[in-house]
Structures are given as structure tokens and as C-alpha cells.
């Protein structure tokens, strides 16, 4: 059995829930212990996997390149920031021509603004240009995962209890968003069918 740290599974979450995940924690005092973001549906996330439409990129760096990407899914917007320590992700954001579908694996980051708001963003490990079918499959799988987390929430569990304490979440909002995301796919499929007819 190796004692090498294993990489955390990248969780799937829609933008609306991801942006509500303002509470972070560590599970040990070790300096290098992973920082987890607590999803309101009762799951911890050290890494996330998101797919959406890259609608805008901008170099917001002052002295060196620091790219911001705006990525939209059916529930809202993710903001991804990549700089010198994420050279591949930076290059993708620099070279991409929005709008484009992208798949991102990255770490959630929280930032407190001057007025005390907590903003949540993504620090990408990788950004890949993908096709519409990949985006649609991600929406379906993310909706399923979200609904599974909501169903498991009432059964309890360490992270559900933590989410209850930190957020007192209205889970029906996330359920409705997951269902609306699935319905948005059905509508676009119906529109495609009409165009092909």
C-alpha cells in the first residue's frame, strides 16, 4: 500500500451550486493538506469537473499574463483564472476563440472582497476544447450527481451535516436547477430536430 497522496476525485457541480460553495475547510493540520470547498448539497470538493460555453477571455494580469475565462452552463457562470503556474490552461484561454465549449478540471478558490462578499472561482489544472455532445453528456451526468447528493442529504452524513450548519440550504433550488438544465437540453434537441426536418 503506497503512502503517496492520491488525487481527489473531481466532483461535478453546476455553476449555481459551485458559486454558493463559499465555505472551505481542511481535514488535517498538515500544511499540505488539501483544501476542500463544501458544496451546499453535502459533498466536499477539492477538485471539480465542469463543462460549459467559454463566452469571454481576458488577460487581467498587470505585470504578467493572468487570464480570466467566463464559462457558462445552464444554471450560471464559472470564472476560471490561470497564470504562470497553469501554463497549459493559460495557453488555452489565450488561444481560444469564444464562444467554444470547454471542459475544465480545476480547484475551487474562494476570495473575500473588500465588502465582505465571498467570490468563488476555478483555478484550472486543464482546459480542453470539446464538442456539444460532450457538453450535453456533462449536463446529464451533473444533473444526476446533483439529484443523487440531494437524495442522500436527508440520509445524513458528515458533509450533509456540515452543509446544514454552514448554509442551511434550500435543496429544492438545486433540484429545480438540475431539472431545468436537463429540460434545456431537450429544448435544444427539439430545436435541432426542427432545423434538420
In a domain, 5, yes or no: no
Q: Quick one: pLDDT band at residue 131, thresholds 50, 70, 90?
A: very high
Report yes or no on 35 lying in a domain.
yes
* pTM given for the model: 0.91
Asked if residues 117 and 94 have their Cβ atoms less than 8 Å apart, the reply is no
pLDDT per position as a tens digit, 135-160: 999 999 999 999 999 999 988 888 99
* Any domain includes 52: yes
- Measured CA to CA in angstroms, residue 167 lies from 37, 39, 120, 147 at distances of 13, 9, 15, 18
Q: What is the pLDDT of residue 193?
A: 65
Q: Is residue 2 part of a domain?
A: no
Q: What is the mean predicted confidence (pLDDT) over 15-32?
A: 95
* Confidence (pLDDT) at 196: 66
Instruction: Give how many domains the chain has, as a whole number.
Output: 1
Contact 51, 18 (CB under 8 A): no
- Per the CB < 8 A criterion, the answer to whether 123 and 107 are in contact is yes
Domain containing 178 equals 10-189
**Over the Cα atoms of the chain, what is R_g?**
18
- State the CB neighbour count (10 A cutoff) for residue 157: 14
From start to end of 13-99, where are the E strands? 24-26, 35-39, 43-45, 47-59, 67-73, 76-82
pLDDT at 1 over 50: no
Contact status, residue 128 vs residue 106, Cβ threshold 8 Å? no
In a domain, 73, yes or no: yes
Query: Taking residues 20-29, what's their average pLDDT?
Result: 95
Report how far Cα 111 is from the mean position of its chain's Cα atoms.
16
Please tell me the predicted confidence (pLDDT) of residue 186.
84
* Residue 113 maps to a domain: yes
Q: For the residues 55-70, what does the mean pLDDT come to?
A: 95
How much is the pLDDT for 41?
Answer: 98
Residue the block writes with cell 431545468: 180
CATH value at residue 38: 2.40.50.140
What are 153-179's pLDDT values in tens digits? 988 888 999 999 999 999 999 999 999
Q: Which of 117, 99, 105, 92 is nearest to 50 (CA)?
A: 105
Strands (E), 60-99: 67-73, 76-82
Residue 50: inside a domain: yes
Res 62 pLDDT > 60: yes
Confidence band, pLDDT 50/70/90 cuts, at residue 2? very low
Average pLDDT, the chain: 92
pLDDT at 23 over 50: yes
Q: Rounded to whole angstroms, how far apart are CA atoms 20 and 26?
A: 18
- The answer to whether residue 93 is domain-embedded is yes
pLDDT at 7: 72
Amino acid at each position: 500500500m503506497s503512502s503517496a497522496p492520491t488525487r481527489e476525485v473531481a466532483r461535478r457541480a453546476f455553476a449555481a451550486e459551485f458559486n454558493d460553495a463559499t465555505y472551505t475547510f481542511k481535514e488535517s493540520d498538515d500544511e499540505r493538506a488539501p483544501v476542500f470547498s463544501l458544496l451546499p448539497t453535502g459533498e466536499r470538493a477539492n477538485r471539480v469537473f465542469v463543462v460549459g460555453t467559454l463566452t469571454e477571455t481576458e488577460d487581467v494580469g498587470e505585470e504578467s499574463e493572468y487570464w480570466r475565462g467566463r464559462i457558462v452552463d445552464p444554471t450560471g457562470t464559472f470564472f476560471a483564472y490561470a497564470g504562470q503556474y497553469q501554463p497549459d490552461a493559460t495557453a488555452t484561454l489565450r488561444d481560444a476563440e469564444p464562444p467554444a465549449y470547454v471542459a475544465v478540471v480545476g480547484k475551487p478558490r474562494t476570495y473575500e472582497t473588500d465588502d465582505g462578499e465571498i467570490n468563488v472561482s476555478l483555478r484550472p489544472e486543464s482546459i480542453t476544447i470539446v464538442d456539444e455532445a460532450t457538453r450535453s453528456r456533462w449536463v446529464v451526468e451533473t444533473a444526476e450527481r446533483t439529484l443523487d447528493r440531494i437524495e442522500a442529504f436527508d440520509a445524513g452524513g458528515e458533509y450533509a451535516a456540515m452543509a446544514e450548519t454552514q448554509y442551511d440550504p434550500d435543496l429544492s433550488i438545486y433540484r429545480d436547477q438540475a431539472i431545468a438544465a436537463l429540460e434545456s437540453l431537450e429544448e435544444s434537441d427539439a430545436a435541432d430536430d426542427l432545423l434538420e426536418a
